[in-house]
Amino acid sequence: MTDEASETGGKSPRLTRRGVLALAGTSAIAGCSSIDSLGGGSKATINTYNLPDISRDEERESPVPPSVPVTITSGHFDATRERVRSLLATLPTPLGPEEIPNGHIRKHLTDAASDATQGLGDARTARTGLMALRSLRRARENARYAAAGWGVVDRGLTAAPLRDEYNRTVSGARETRQEHEYVGADPVRAALVHARIEAGLERATDTDVRPREESALLSVAEWGETAEAAQVYLSDARHIRAQFTASLPPDAGSVRQPLTAAAKALLADIRDQQSTLAPEPNTDDRTPGRMVFDELRREAQSGISRLAYAIGPASAVVDANSQLARLRALDRIQTRREAEELARPSDAKTVRDIRQTAYDALTAALESSSRSALARTVLVDAGHKVMAADRELTHHQGEIAASTLDRSVADYWYATALARSASAATQQTVQALEGD
């Protein structure tokens, strides 16, 4: 079944033998309960044994990894890996109590070194080039954290040169940003690539840096990490820009104007829709249907509504696309609530169906969208919801109240509605970009 079908029903929840026994035991202890009273409503229970079999130990990843329509060169990856290795090579082996007697501080450095090594491995198995870049960025940050922390012990390193290095990188990133030209041919691809560049340069110039005072050594380590992070963001943004530019035909011109015009048009539509949002329900019911409605409504209200609030025209377009998808998702959820289709599931099979529906919606949306790279940005968010819902499901054991699963159910519904809204929203965005 799909989650479009009514899940309210008057049927009693399907009980497993294990569930009946467990509940019977409870009844015996309580001395006054009746097994017959278990069906439906807020008192329904679900045996987690019958829920989807999701491994608890598994490092969960979003089913839709983010990507950028640019080829990252192996040379860029290799240079980053080499940087990580050279930073890690500055550490003594082993880094033990003789080198750093304070176990807490030592653990931070060894954990960071271990995470850096892990990041190198993650990059090799990353599903997209962008994911590989992220893994390697974290690897570099961690390696620098460990190296800078050890530098305090080894050679009296202080935060001052690291702050200077960071400030130089920030200046470089600002210059890069000012000089940035919005070259492109296909405005959709250009929007996606330039949005990544804008985001990278924004992060590289993020001056809200406040290392903690917990430890002087760890503070220096954090400055090292911060300086490295800014470098990586800037380096990756420049590489993406260079690769993108190299992939364009010689006559490619500026797409700033179509990006800006599309962003303005889309945001104007978003403002209109925000002004006519469905009112907040007066009732104070806490059901999964209400939870997903409230969350989408809140997000639809709080997203950017003016170009000036965006970090750049390309990001404004991509953000607007996500916003439009959320507004459509909100409509879907509202319609389903009014049709009373979003009642709390009272048996495990319905929960399994709701989850499967979310996965199916994601798959269908990925396959059907003609502009999947842009739709994908919405589906990445929907995928995160599914991932969060899956993770939440693994936290429960035994016979539990059906309401315990509200958060997961709400997230599956959210993901389903968002995935099914991605294509239409993307069509609207593409039309705006292409001036149709």
Which member of 107, 168, 286, 395 binds another protein (CB under 8 A)?
107
Q: Is 146 in the site for another protein (CB under 8 A)?
A: no
Rg (CA), the chain: 26
Which member of 3, 7, 122, 225 binds another protein (CB under 8 A)?
225
Q: How far is the CB of 116 from another protein (least distance, A)?
A: 9
CB nearer another protein, residue 148 or residue 382? 148
Q: Is 310 in the site for another protein (CB under 8 A)?
A: no
CB nearer another protein, residue 105 or residue 123? 105
Q: Is 213 in the site for another protein (CB under 8 A)?
A: yes
CB 69 within 8 A of CB 373: yes
Which member of 10, 31, 75, 101 binds another protein (CB under 8 A)?
101
Distance between CA 123 and CA 143 in Å, rounded?
15
Binding segment for another protein (CB under 8 A), chosen from 48-56, 96-104, 120-128, 391-399, is 96-104
Q: Is 115 in the site for another protein (CB under 8 A)?
A: yes
CB nearer another protein, residue 237 or residue 366? 237
Q: How far is the CB of 203 from another protein (least distance, A)?
A: 9
Q: Is 395 in the site for another protein (CB under 8 A)?
A: no
Backbone angles phi, psi at 254, to 5 degrees: -85, 140
Distance between CA 67 and CA 145 in Å, rounded?
27
CB nearer another protein, residue 150 or residue 412? 150
Binding segment for another protein (CB under 8 A), chosen from 9-17, 157-165, 366-374, 401-409, is 157-165
CB nearer another protein, residue 220 or residue 291? 220
Q: What is the DSSP string of 313-381?
A: HHHHHHHHHHHHHHHHHHHHHHHHHHTT--PPP-SHHHHHHHHHHHHHHHHHHHHH-TTHHHHHHHHHH
Q: Is 104 in the site for another protein (CB under 8 A)?
A: yes
Size of the site for another protein (CB under 8 A): 34
CB nearer another protein, residue 99 or residue 294? 99
Binding segment for another protein (CB under 8 A), chosen from 69-77, 93-101, 364-372, 427-435, is 93-101
Classify residue 206 by its DSSP letter.
-
Alpha-carbon 353 to chain mean position: 24
Distance between CA 166 and CA 227 in Å, rounded?
4
Q: How far is the CB of 66 from another protein (least distance, A)?
A: 16
Backbone angles phi, psi at 399, to 5 degrees: -85, 120
Q: Is 216 in the site for another protein (CB under 8 A)?
A: yes
Q: Is 105 in the site for another protein (CB under 8 A)?
A: yes
Distance between CA 85 and CA 79 in Å, rounded?
10
Which member of 87, 218, 378, 402 binds another protein (CB under 8 A)?
218
CB 120 within 8 A of CB 181: no
CB 373 within 8 A of CB 64: no
Q: How far is the CB of 56 from another protein (least distance, A)?
A: 17
CB 82 within 8 A of CB 116: no
Q: How far is the CB of 97 from another protein (least distance, A)?
A: 7
Q: How many other CB atoms are found less than 10 A from the CB of residue 93?
A: 9
Q: Which residue has the tokens 């709390």?
A: 344
Distance between CA 203 and CA 174 in Å, rounded?
11
Which member of 7, 48, 131, 145 binds another protein (CB under 8 A)?
145
How buried is 401 (Cβ within 10 angstroms: 0-12 exposed, 13-18 middle, 19+ buried)? middle
Q: Is 106 in the site for another protein (CB under 8 A)?
A: yes
Q: Write out the residues near another protein by the rule CB under 8 A.
A: 97, 100-108, 111-112, 115, 138, 141-142, 145, 152-153, 156-159, 212-218, 220, 222, 225, 229
